[in-house]
Amino acid sequence: MTDIIKLTAAETAAKIASGELTAVQVTEAHLARIEAVDEKVHAFLHVDRRGALAQARAVDEKRAKGEKLGPLAGVPLALKDIFTTEGIPTTVGSKILEGWIPPYDATLTKRLKAADVVILGKTNMDEFAMGSSTENSAYGPTGNPWDLTKIPGGSGGGSSAALASFQAPLAIGTDTGGSIRQPASVTGTVGVKPTYGAVSRYGMVAFSSSLDQGGPCARTVLDAALLHEVIAGHDPMDSTSIDAPVPPVVEAARNGSVAGMRVGVVKQFRGEGYQAGVIQRFDESVALLKELGAEIVELDCPSFDLALSAYYLIAPSECSSNLARFDGLRYGLRTGDDGGHSAEEVTSLTREAGFGPEVKRRIMLGTYALSSGYYDAYYGSAQKVRTLITRDFEKAFEQVDVIVSPTTPTTAFAIGERADDPMAMYLADLCTIPTNLAGNAAMSLPCGLAPEDNLPVGLQIIAPAMQDDRLYKVGAAVEAAFVEKWGHPLLEEAPSL
C-alpha cells in the first residue's frame, strides 16, 4: 500500500494502463490510507467508497477489453465539496446545505468521470469557500499533515491535506482570492489557478462569481498539468467560459525550461509582515531561475497595495447577492417552519442557524457596500482599483513573460491563532489576490522549508491570461532543478502521521 500511495498520478496511470496495477488495487490502497489517517487529518467530509470502487472496476473492465484509456484513467482524486455530485452530498462546508444531495453533476465532475478519474469523496473547506485556513468549516477544521496543530490553508485545506497526507494523488480546489495556491504553499504541494473562465463554473456553488475559479491540485507539476487538461475547456452551460483551445499545458510540463525567459519580481510582494524564512526561500528561488538562464526584471506595480482592500469589497458584495438563494424555502436547511412563522421569519431563522460567523460577516459587509448611498463610494471604487490592477499586470507583461513572488507571506500558522483577528487572517492572501482581480493564471509550487519552523514555503508563478502553459513550463523547470539540488520536501522530509 505504501508504495502505491507514494506514486505520482502519471506513474499510477502508466502502471494501470500496462496492467502492472489494477485501478481497484490503487483505489483500495487509497481508501485504506483514508481509513488509517483521516480521523487525525479530517481532509474528507464524505468518502464514497462504493462509488469509487465501482468507477475503478469500470476502468479495469475497459482495459481488459482493450479499450483506450485516458492519461489519468483509474487515478484517485479528492474533490472539493463545492462542486455538485449527483447522488453524493454537497455541503460547501456549511450547515445550511447539510445532507443536500444534488440531482446533477457539475461540468467539472462530468469531465472527471468521462476521463475515468476515480472520485474518492468530497473534501473539507471553509464554509462557502470563505476563509484562509479551513477553520471556518461547519464540520470542524482540517489539520496540516506537516503538523496537525497547524492550518492546511484555505479555503481548500481538505484538498491540500489529502495530497500531503497521501490520501489521494490528485485533488480539485477553487480559487477566489488564493484558495488553491495558499493551501498548496503551506502543505508543500502544487496548486494552479487557471485563467478565469478556463474551467467551467457550472455546478460550482458560487461565492464571488467574477473571481471564483476551479483548478487542479497535485504533488507534481506534471500531475497538475494532466489534471488541468482534463477539466479545462469551453462549456456552453457557463456564460463566463472562454471559447478557446486549452493551452498546451502537458507539453509545457514535459518540456520545462526558463532559458531566455524574462521573469519579473514585484517590489510590492515583500516587506513588513513577510516571514524571514519565506523571503529567504523566495530569494533562493529567484537565484535558481537566474542559474537556469532566466533574466530577472524588477517591477513596480503600485496598485497591488490596494488589492486586499478592493477584494474585500468586491467579494463580499458578490457573495451577498449569491447567497440570497439560501432562504430555507427551496432546498437545504429549513428552521422555524412550524406553522407559526411567516416565510420571511423562516428565512431569517434558517440563515441564523445555517450560516457561520465568517459567512455572516461577509454578507453584511457586501450588503452594506451595495446599499443605496454607499455603492459608488465602496463597490464602485473597488471596481476602479480592479481596473488599475489589471493595467499594472498588462504593463508588467509587456516587460516580462512571467512574474514570481512568495505565494503567501508566512508558513502555516497554528489552528486558532488568527480566529479572532479577521484582518490578520485576510493578510494570508496578500500575494494571491491581485491575480484573481485581473483574471490571470497562477501556480504555487514548493520551494523548500522555512528554516525557523521547518514548514513548507511556496513559490508563486503568474502568467498572462490564456498563457497557462507558461506556468507549467517555468514550474517544471524549477521543480526539476529544485529536486536535483535539494530533494522533494514532501516525499523526503514530511513527517509521518
- DSSP letter for 313, please: H
What are the residues whose beta carbons fall under 8 Å from the beta carbon of 177, sequence distance 6 or more? 211, 311, 315, 429, 432, 433, 436
As a whole number of Å, the CA-based R_g of the chain is 21
Q: Are the CB atoms for 447 and 490 separated by under 8 Å?
A: no
Write down the catalytic residue from 94, 133, 155, 165: 155
Whether cis (ω within 30° of 0) applies to the bond prior to 155 is yes
137 an active-site residue? no
Closest to 252 measured CA to CA, from 443, 445, 475? 475
Q: How far apart are CA 384 and CA 314, in angstroms?
A: 11
The 3-state DSSP class for residue 384 equals helix
Q: Are the CB atoms for 31 and 49 separated by under 8 Å?
A: yes
Closest to 135 measured CA to CA, from 417, 353, 428, 454? 417
Cell numbers describing residue 377: 463610494
Closest to 419 measured CA to CA, from 4, 132, 215, 64? 132
What are the residues whose beta carbons fall under 8 Å from the beta carbon of 121, sequence distance 6 or more? 34, 44, 45, 46, 47, 48, 52, 78, 79, 88
395 an active-site residue? no
* Half-sphere exposure of residue 273: CA atoms within 13 angstroms, side-chain side: 15
Q: How far apart are CA 6 and CA 15, in angstroms?
A: 13
Write down the catalytic residue from 179, 185, 200, 303: 179
Task: Give the CA angle between residues 54, 57, 58 to the nearest 5°.
Answer: 90
Q: Are the CB atoms for 170 and 76 separated by under 8 Å?
A: yes
Closest to 102 measured CA to CA, from 114, 116, 92, 111? 92
Rounded (10°) angle between helices 49-64 and 9-18: 50
179 an active-site residue? yes
What are the residues whose beta carbons fall under 8 Å from the beta carbon of 462, sequence distance 6 or more? 393, 402, 403, 404, 405, 435, 440, 441, 442
E strand or H helix at 80, and its extent?
A: strand 76-80
| Residues known to be catalytic | 80, 155, 179
